[in-house]
Amino acid sequence: MSGGRQVPTALGDALARWGGTTSRRDFLKTSGLFVFGVSGVGVAGAGRWGFGTEPSGGESSEPASYPDPDFLQLDSWLVVHEDGTATFYVGKTDGGQGTGTATQQMMCDELDLAFDQARVVMGRTDMTVDQGGSGGSDAIERDAMVGRRIAAEARRVLLEMASERLGVPVEGLSVSEGVISLRDDPARTVTYGELIGGGRFDVALTGGNINATTGVASIKPVQDLKLVGQSIPRYDIPGKVDASLEWAVDVRLPGMVHARNVRPPFAGATLSAIDELSVRDLPGFIRVVSEGNYVAVVCEREEQAIEAAERLVVEWEKPATAPFPASDDLFDYMRSAERVPGSGGRGAARAQGDPDGALASAATVVEAAYDIPFHGHTAIGPAHALADPSDGQMTIYTNDMKPYSHRTGIAEFLGMDPEQVRVIWMDGPQLYGRTAADDAGFEAAYLARELGRPVRVQWMRHEETAWDTKGPAFAIDLRGGLDADGNVVALDYRGRIANYAHVGYNQARTVLIAQLMGFRPERPSPGGGRGPDEMYYIPNRRQETRAVRFPLAFETPLRTGNLRDPNGPQTTFAGESFIDELAAAAGADPVEFRLRLLRGATDDDEAFRRARSIAVVEAAAEAYGWDARPSPGTVGSGRVLTGRGIAYAYRARTTIAVIAEVEVNRETGRVWVRRMVCAHDCGLVINPNSLESTIQGNLLHGISRTLYEEVRFDGEKVTSVDWRTHPTLTHMDTPEQIDVVMVNGDPNPDRPDLRPYGAGEPSHRPVPAAIANAIYDATGVRMRRLPLRPERVLEELGYAGL
Amino acid sequence: MSEITLRVNGETHTLDVDPSTPLLYVLRNDLGLRGPRFGCGLAQCGTCTVLMDGRAIRSCNRPVSRSTGEITTLEGLPENGELHPVQQAWIDEQVPQCGYCQNGQILTAAALLSYSPNPSDDEIREGMNRVLCRCMTYYRIQSAVKRAAEAMAEGEDR
């Protein structure tokens, strides 16, 4: 450690891993691309607090500045080092689905490097271009395609440099693993490292926005990609297995202190008094910080902060009006509540033909209502962040999946210039949308500024489970009409979604601390909501979704945010269960019935969704060994009943079909999904093993949401607060067999420009319907309300006399 | 505060902490270890697991004063510079997604295999059942436990 440039272990380890002797900032600084505040090297002033290290004075006392890397400069994206290896700077984050490894594969392929000759740096607002961080399953579909173009451009420039150096036209050169050689004289070579090692490209890119960034080089045809398509082991896994990887929870700065929040015991409560004497004499106590209804306790040690937060006596006043109905009354409430004007949003409505007329004249009309409760994220590790306020800047160490909006949101919240704020993404517990509105970073930054020293915040389990952002509840009513031949002539879908004031991405006015302090968004989200996404041809249909609201819209533990595949599992549960109901009413096999609906039209879109929908349904049925017959099957007389069900959907440009095989124990009500098949078409597959892992996670997470998960609340607070009151899937529930079938249903499967489509979420959405359809197949009983815990299953079987 | 002696990963540490402090915070904040992590503080999820005298225990609600055995954290699992077969199996099966819970999964599997070297599928499910994973990597974990059991059996045959 030298002088005031002490590098905390987080950065030190990262630098060691990147193998460079200079940091990215040093590189950029010496490259003269950007003008930095003088002290803005490494982690500004990190050595300032205690432990006898020198303050960062001696350099300038001006605040550090962290300007945005310029996306129109090749050097902002890619550096070639002296040893010929490269570092790719990627403005995304990896939640453990392997997007970092996959991006590295794609970029190495374009640059003609071996996989091990490169490394990826992700999600640091001062070092990586703002690609938005994670979300929407777009890392590979959109952002890594930018990476491919960048890498292709770097290769083009390097080849031109080699051409000049070797006196041979570019056409006479070939590249392999960073070594350029003459086609006619392969002994004559020059390496990337020799050409540019450590230096700048100084090449300008074009593009009206970051996603459109490009050079002049073309990307390679798919057939020329060598690393793409290989199951290269993920680079992040060894460090996760031997504890060498430093996570956001692990960062420790000298002089840092620990904070814990104290939440209102009732939703909508108003703070009336804090008795600081109740904790003042506790060991390590530093301060109680409160503003509005936000309260936190800061102590020297972590366990001291936990104890102080538990013991702090706070008086709260209950709101005059009940904030929301009890969860037992939720769906009645939602069906009778007024709809929020302007809610629903893009993609929510679909209108075609004359559904009412067609229903009136249909031979058979089927009606059903589906209920899906609020789901929590309930991350295995509660929200956490560490903020360092030294030298007038603010650095936040976080697992926030969207570090860029985290930075701008915190800057706005604290009234700071965004250039004085930087967010350093590090690995953390699963993101899935929770850390797109990451409260802990805001809290840490606020407290760090109040205390004037680094503050680490971590939520407690009860706090995370009760107060994290929620996936919205749905109440969905469906009507469908069949003609005398069993064809679907009408479908009427009406959804209600409890999604009013859905929080945005790290917004300064909608994160929990801001709400508790009394901030309100100028225009609360009216509440969006999609319907199911499928390619069925049904001549007369209506599909609309409207939001409803509760008396308490803010400071509520039922505030909704994005939860993995927002809306997808809920709406597909209703839509694909109901298609199954129609198939049963028509006496048709569920697979044949769906294929008939998919083949009813011939029109398609640029992503060939219809053709690729048919391909996944057929592939799933084949992989499962599906025997065509109507559901239910013959309901046995034994203790355990077995059945299989299918559900299909698309999400954006990815198509998926899932088949579940279940065992239903009619004595205990336990449902076990014994086998799952997922046929998956996301176009070009980058890393099959990593993709399979992601799909397995989606499937099991879907089983968990189907069988167990539900946010429970009485009329004043959330009552599901830990792993007993909020159960989740366990090892015991794991299927015996999971088959993932990668499908490429593109009409021209060998197209040279075959694109990868998103895969982080799509396979999640068909799962609840596939399970419910399988239970129907096994028992003849239709499950229309989630979750399917044993007590509910027993109750439903009981109604049916089983 | 009082003086507490801990044996962790083969080393002895003497610390001046409140004896009621949960072991987890001492391991993380005083000894700088990263393996055990906070998940629930209620001994429900297993994220904070460490081995004590070879048994998998939860460190989040065990007072440091009652942590008198030989403690092994994920950092201490490798022997002679080689990953434990369970760790190697985790890499071979590409188990982790986010990885936050995997400390508890790996240590629980290591403990399971130490007293049940050749577990059946049901024994693996039951033995691992109290360790939760919200990325739902259970399927790969169970494959990795089997792979590790095979590797350990082969290692003994050699």
Chain A hits for B87, Cβ within 8 Å: 241-242
Question: Looking at chain B, which residue has its C-alpha nearest residue A675?
Answer: B139
Label residue A388 by pLDDT band (50, 70, 90). Answer: very high
> How close A332 gets to chain B, by Cα (Å)?
31
Chain A hits for B128, Cβ within 8 Å: 731
With CA atoms as reference, report the closest residue to A707 among A676, A684, A685.
A676
Phi/psi class of residue B73: alpha, beta or left (left: φ > 0; alpha: ψ in -120 to 50)? beta
A702 Cβ partners below 8 Å, 6+ apart? A569, A658, A763, A764, A765, A766, A767, A768
Does the structure show a pLDDT above 50 at A752? yes
Domains A1-65+248-323+383-458 and A589-799 fall in the same CATH topology: yes
Instruction: Give CA–CA dist A505/A133, Å, rounded.
Output: 11
User: Considering the domain A76-241 in this protein, what is its CATH number?
Assistant: 3.30.365.10
User: Considering the domain A589-799 in this protein, what is its CATH number?
Assistant: 3.30.365.10
* pLDDT value, residue B158: 63
Fold of B2-76: Ubiquitin-like (UB roll) (3.10.20)
Chain A hits for B94, Cβ within 8 Å: 233-234, 237, 689-690, 693
pLDDT tens per residue across span B90-148:
999 999 999 999 999 999 999 999 999 999 999 999 999 999 999 999 999 999 999 99
CATH class, range A1-65+248-323+383-458: alpha beta
Chain centroid to CA A398: 15
**Using CB atoms and an 8 Å cut-off, which of residues 455-484 of chain A contact chain B?**
458, 460-461
Instruction: Give CA–CA dist A205/A73, Å, rounded.
Output: 6
* pLDDT value, residue A22: 37
Does the structure show a pLDDT above 60 at A230? yes
**Nearest-CB residue to A243 (from B34, B91, B101):** B34
Label residue A347 by pLDDT band (50, 70, 90). Answer: low
Q: Nearest-5° angle of CA A716, CA A323, CA A562?
A: 100
Concatenated DSSP letters of chain B: -EEEEEEETTEEEEEEE-TTSBHHHIIIIIS---SS--S-SSSSS-TTEEEETTEEEE-SSSBGGG--SEEE-GGG--BTTB--HHHHHHHHTT--SS-TTHHHHHHHHHHHHHH-SS--HHHHHHHHTTS--SS--HHHHHHHHHHHHHHHHHHHH-
Of the given ranges (A221-230, A348-357, A443-452, A480-489), which has the lowest mean pLDDT?
A348-357
Note whether ipTM > 0.90 here. Answer: yes
Whole-model pTM above 0.90?
Answer: yes
Contact A693 B102 (CB under 8 A): no
Q: For chain B, which residues make up each domain, given as ranges?
A: 2-76, 85-157
pLDDT tens per residue across span A243-275:
999 999 999 999 999 999 999 999 999 999 999
**Nearest-CB residue to A697 (from B83, B90, B135):** B135
Whether the Cβ atoms of residue A784 and residue A369 lie closer than 8 Å to each other = yes
In this structure, what token pair is assigned to residue A268?
């909508």
Contact A731 B131 (CB under 8 A): yes
Whether the Cβ atoms of residue A355 and residue A489 lie closer than 8 Å to each other = no
Fold of B85-157: DNA polymerase; domain 1 (1.10.150)
End-to-end, the C-alpha distance of chain B in Å comes to 50
Contact B139 A738 (CB under 8 A): yes
**Nearest-CB residue to B18 (from A283, A458, A703):** A283
Instruction: Give CA–CA dist A103/A88, Å, rounded.
Output: 9
With CA atoms as reference, report the closest residue to B34 among A588, A250, A694.
A250
Instruction: Give CA–CA dist A287/A300, Å, rounded.
Output: 10
Contacts of range A319-323, beta carbons closer than 8 Å, 24 or more positions apart: A319/A266, A319/A267, A319/A268, A319/A269, A319/A270, A319/A552, A321/A268, A321/A551, A321/A552, A322/A551, A322/A715, A322/A716, A323/A266, A323/A267, A323/A268, A323/A550, A323/A551, A323/A552, A323/A556, A323/A715, A323/A716
Instruction: Give CA–CA dist A319/A136, Å, rounded.
Output: 37
* pLDDT value, residue A7: 34
Does the structure show a pLDDT above 50 at A53? no
Q: For chain A, which residues make up each domain, given as ranges?
A: 1-65+248-323+383-458, 76-241, 589-799
Contact A732 B125 (CB under 8 A): yes
Does the structure show a pLDDT above 70 at A591? yes
Radius of gyration of chain A (CA): 28
**Nearest-CB residue to A381 (from B33, B38, B138):** B38
- Check if A285 contacts B (Cβ < 8 Å): no
In this structure, what token pair is assigned to residue A789?
């815990």
**Nearest-CB residue to B42 (from A429, A430, A722):** A722
| Average per-residue pLDDT for chain A | 92
> How close B106 gets to chain A, by Cα (Å)?
8
Burial (CB < 10 A; 0-12, 13-18, 19+), residue B107, is buried
Label residue A12 by pLDDT band (50, 70, 90). Answer: very low
Question: Looking at chain A, which residue has its C-alpha nearest residue B77?
Answer: A242
B103 Cβ partners below 8 Å, 6+ apart? A243, B35, B36, B37, B47, B48, B49, B73, B74
Q: Which of B93, B135, B146, B147 to mutate to test the interface with A (most CBs of A within 10 A)?
A: B135
Q: How many CB atoms lie within 10 A of CB A337?
A: 18
In this structure, what token pair is assigned to residue A321?
């009006």
**Nearest-CB residue to B136 (from A302, A303, A701):** A701
Instruction: Give CA–CA dist A109/A421, Å, rounded.
Output: 35
pLDDT tens per residue across span A520-551:
999 999 998 889 999 999 999 999 999 999 99
With CA atoms as reference, report the closest residue to A626 among A653, A590, A601, A680.
A590
